[in-house]
Amino acid sequence: MNFFTLLSTVAAVELTFELPDKEEACFYEEIKENVQATLEFQVVEGGKMDVDCTITDPKQKQLYSIKRKEYDTYTWLTKVEGEYKICFSNQFSTFTHKVVYFDWQVGDDDDEARLFPDGSAKHAEALKLAEESTMQIYERLKAVIDFQTHHRLKEVSERRFAEDLRDRVQNWSLLQFVIMITVSMVQVLIVRSFFNAMARKRVRT
């Protein structure tokens, strides 16, 4: 069983990790009360592309549980302050490891406060045209980054599927070739034995 503590001070944590078969990986983070948190995860590679996932609060109360899921997202509002735990389990798999991506966002994404820490974000009506343009560019860049992340995950999954399909086609072609050679040799042996039998019969007569 693997355990990880997320000590990042940012409002979001993105991670891609390998989850071996028959194992569980857990991640922890301290969250205050009345804070919104969102978990989004996706199995990128491995087996049937599914894992178990649970979310537990500091009082060991299970907030979320899903079995053998490829992709899901869950949002909740913390009711108590403390250490929250997210666990991904591959214990049901006997020999296949998985590659899992997850995005754990904690707190309101106050973009304006981060862009303008001097307090001008509290007075949005007083923003200048340049600041508004900067905000628009920032939002669009965030959307592009999210799109690129999901596109990369989808590309990895599709590439893995294509490679598996290629291997299956190659193995099937090799099997067909072996069968064809075997049938040809058997036919040659049958015809040869037939002519040998005819020759022996003529010698006897």
- The amino acid present at 72, given as its one-letter code, is D
What are the domain boundaries of the chain?
A: 2-109, 126-205
DSSP states of 165-197 as a string? HHHHHHHHHHHHHHHHHHHHHHHHHHHHHHHHH
Whether residue 93 contacts residue 43, with contact meaning beta carbons closer than 8 Å, is answered with no
- The amino acid present at 172, given as its one-letter code, is W
Can you give the pLDDT at residue 32? 92
Q: What is the CATH number of domain 2-109?
A: 2.60.120.380
Residues ≥6 apart with Cβ < 8 Å to 88: 19, 24, 25, 26, 41, 51, 52, 53, 100, 102
Can you give the pLDDT at residue 136? 75
Residues facing 149 on adjacent strands:
none
Under-70 pLDDT residues of the chain: 1-11, 108-128, 130-131, 204-205
The first and second tokens of residue 185, run together, are 């040799």
84 CB burial (10 A radius; 0-12, 13-18, 19+): buried
Can you give the pLDDT at residue 96? 87
Task: Give the whole-angstrom CA distance, residue 172 versus residue 178.
Answer: 10
Whether residue 35 contacts residue 107, with contact meaning beta carbons closer than 8 Å, is answered with yes
Can you give the pLDDT at residue 58? 95
